[in-house]
């Protein structure tokens, strides 16, 4: 048995050599030559060994044996089959000469996570400026600092089989519906064996349909926003190395309300939300309404307005649909470029696209002056919607509405809007309708 065990250990260590960053060192602890195994890209070997020497000196002073030393370093015995998994998860390994098993413990890790900074995707006017990072433990700490209560329940889970990834589910006990909590946890457990290299697989696990542009799982980078969602009874899911909190269920109200709004007087809060609803309507219907009134149903306009619009389109060689699609595609390119380019030149690109291109296409008589106004209003309204995913959903829906309106005119636009409302009304996530209104309960943890 000793020979078989030694042979197995030799094979295990040999297979680790291909990792490249695997290191094996011999150190002296309690008068024993001990093998110290680690990945130097994850573990600060120098500080970890100094800590081990300190614990060993303490053990010698107190006349401890190996068992007492292992209790001191909180070591856990693992088999050779578990060796690789422990190392790639950032653990360090000790092997004493008289033991058949390896001892894993938590070493001093290298610092490679970024510090807490301001949000890069969500602007905050009056509220906490910090945002989540890629480190799961840091995100949990930020959330606990925002919600200081023992009723904040944290359930860790490991996802994947070959390439493992840490995740967590959090909710407020007594605030979140127990049925919702059970359904979300069962969904996570059911999808635990999937490959979660990106958040898309987690969205699928949380019942986000691939064909549905409206987000039924709401993502936020702000700890105070995530805390507000908890107080409404939502369930949060975190992925390690993903700086967002995913809240289930996502609702339509997330496109109009922010936790930051509660830092203002109530009348200002309602003022903001009403204007966001108006912006939502303008962003979806503005291009369709332009095509309907210009190309299909101009008879509904007053004669003076119709003549003014006809004069502005004089010399434009394209029909209204082509004209609108041309400008909408240009604005899509400008918005995508402003998001992807470095922040130092992003505003410059936006200014060039909005002013130079707009002025140029008008002078070239490719589009009318009125369309520039319509597209500008649509773009500004789209930026007023809360959440990048909500804004993208609106950008997709307006194309479908534009096609229907081009064929059937105002009646088609009305039918398209009615269909959109019916579609949203029929959406549910974990049994909760998309149009539900979730509020912070009286006496909740604020």
Contact between residue 140 and residue 243 where contact means Cβ atoms under 8 Å apart: no
**CA distances (Å), 384 to each of 39, 45, 123, 378, 433, in order?**
47, 50, 12, 10, 24
Is 445 a residue whose pLDDT tops 50?
Answer: no
Count of all residues that appear for the chain in the document? 446
What mean pLDDT comes out for the span 315-327? 88
The answer to whether the peptide bond before residue 57 is cis (omega within 30 degrees of 0) is no
For residue 33, the model assigns a pLDDT of 85
Whether residue 362 contacts residue 375, with contact meaning beta carbons closer than 8 Å, is answered with no
Q: Is residue 37 predicted with pLDDT exceeding 60?
A: yes
pLDDT tier, 15 (very low <50, low <70, confident <90, very high otherwise): low
> Could you write out the three-class secondary structure of 107-174?
CCECCCCCCCCECCCCCCCCCCCECCCCCHHHHHHHHHHHCCCCCEEEEEEEECCCCCEEEEEEEECC
Find the mean pLDDT for residues 219-239. Answer: 95
Give the model's confidence band at 6: pLDDT under 50 very low, under 70 low, under 90 confident, else very high: very low
Helices 369-383 and 266-291, axial angle in degrees (round to 10): 140
Q: How confident is the model at residue 215, as a pLDDT?
A: 94
Please return the burial class of 433, using the count of CB atoms within 10 Å of its CB with bins 0-12, 13-18 and 19+.
middle
Mean pLDDT calculated for residue range 120-131: 84
Confidence at residue 1, expressed as pLDDT on a 0 to 100 scale: 37
**Separation of first and last alpha carbons in the chain:** 61
Q: Provide the angle, in degrees to the nearest 10, between the axes of the packed helices 136-146 and 223-231.
A: 60
pTM, two decimals, is: 0.81
What residue spans define the domains of the chain?
2-105, 136-249, 273-428
What are 343-400's pLDDT values in tens digits?
766 666 666 666 677 777 777 788 888 888 899 899 899 989 998 899 999 999 999 9
Determine the pLDDT at residue 81.
76
In the prediction, which pLDDT does 446 show?
A: 44
Tell me how crowded residue 16 is: count the other CB atoms within 10 A of its CB: 19
Q: Which residue has the higher pLDDT, 129 or 235?
A: 235
Cα–Cα distance list, 246 to 85, 200, 221, 283, 313 (Å)? 27, 11, 9, 25, 47
Region 229-249: mean pLDDT is: 95
pLDDT band with cut points at 50, 70 and 90 for residue 306: confident
User: Tell me: the pLDDT tens digits for 387-442?
Assistant: 889 999 999 999 999 999 999 999 999 999 999 999 999 999 999 999 999 888 65
């Amino acid at each position: 048995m000793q020979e078989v065990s030694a042979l197995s250990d030799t094979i295990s260590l040999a297979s680790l050599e291909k990792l490249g960053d695997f290191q094996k060192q011999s150190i002296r602890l309690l008068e024993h030559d001990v093998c110290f195994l680690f990945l130097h890209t994850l573990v600060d070997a120098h500080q970890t060994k100094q800590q081990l020497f300190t614990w060993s000196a303490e053990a010698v002073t107190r006349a401890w044996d190996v068992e007492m030393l292992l209790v001191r370093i909180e070591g856990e015995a693992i088999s050779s089959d578990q060796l690789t998994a422990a190392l790639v998860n950032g653990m360090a390994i000790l092997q004493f000469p008289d033991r058949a098993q390896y001892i894993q413990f938590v070493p001093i890790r290298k610092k490679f996570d970024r510090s807490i900074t301001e949000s890069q995707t969500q602007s905050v006017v009056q509220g906490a400026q910090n945002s989540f990072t890629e480190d799961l433990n840091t995100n949990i700490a930020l959330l606990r600092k925002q919600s200081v209560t023992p009723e904040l329940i944290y359930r860790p889970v490991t996802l994947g089989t070959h390439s493992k990834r840490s995740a967590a589910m959090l909710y407020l006990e007594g605030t979140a519906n127990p049925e919702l909590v059970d359904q979300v946890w069962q969904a996570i457990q059911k999808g635990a064996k999937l490959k979660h290299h990106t958040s898309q697989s987690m969205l699928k696990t949380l019942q986000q349909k691939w064909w549905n542009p409206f987000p039924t799982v709401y993502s936020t980078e702000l700890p105070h926003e995530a805390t507000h969602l908890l107080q409404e009874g939502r369930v949060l899911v975190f992925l390690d190395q993903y700086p967002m909190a995913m809240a289930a269920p996502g609702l339509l109200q997330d496109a109009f309300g922010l936790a930051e709004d509660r830092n203002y007087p109530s009348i200002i809060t309602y003022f903001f939300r009403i204007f966001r609803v108006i912006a939502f309507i303008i962003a979806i219907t503005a291009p369709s309404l332009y095509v309907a009134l210009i190309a299909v149903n101009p008879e509904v306009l007053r004669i003076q307005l119709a003549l003014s619009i006809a004069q502005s389109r004089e010399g434009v060689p394209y029909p209204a649909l082509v004209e609108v699609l041309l400008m909408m595609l240009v604005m899509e390119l400008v918005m995508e470029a402003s998001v992807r380019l470095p922040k130092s030149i992003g505003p410059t690109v936006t200014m060039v696209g909005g002013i130079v291109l707009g002025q140029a296409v008008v002078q070239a008589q490719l589009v009318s002056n009125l369309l520039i106004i319509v597209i500008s209003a649509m773009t500004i309204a789209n930026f007023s919607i809360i959440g990048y995913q909500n804004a993208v959903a609106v950008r997709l829906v307006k194309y479908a509405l534009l096609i229907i309106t081009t064929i059937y005119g105002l009646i088609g636009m009305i039918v398209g809007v009615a269909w959109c409302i019916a579609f949203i009304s029929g959406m549910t996530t974990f049994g909760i309708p998309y149009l539900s209104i979730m509020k912070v309960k009286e006496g909740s943890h604020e």
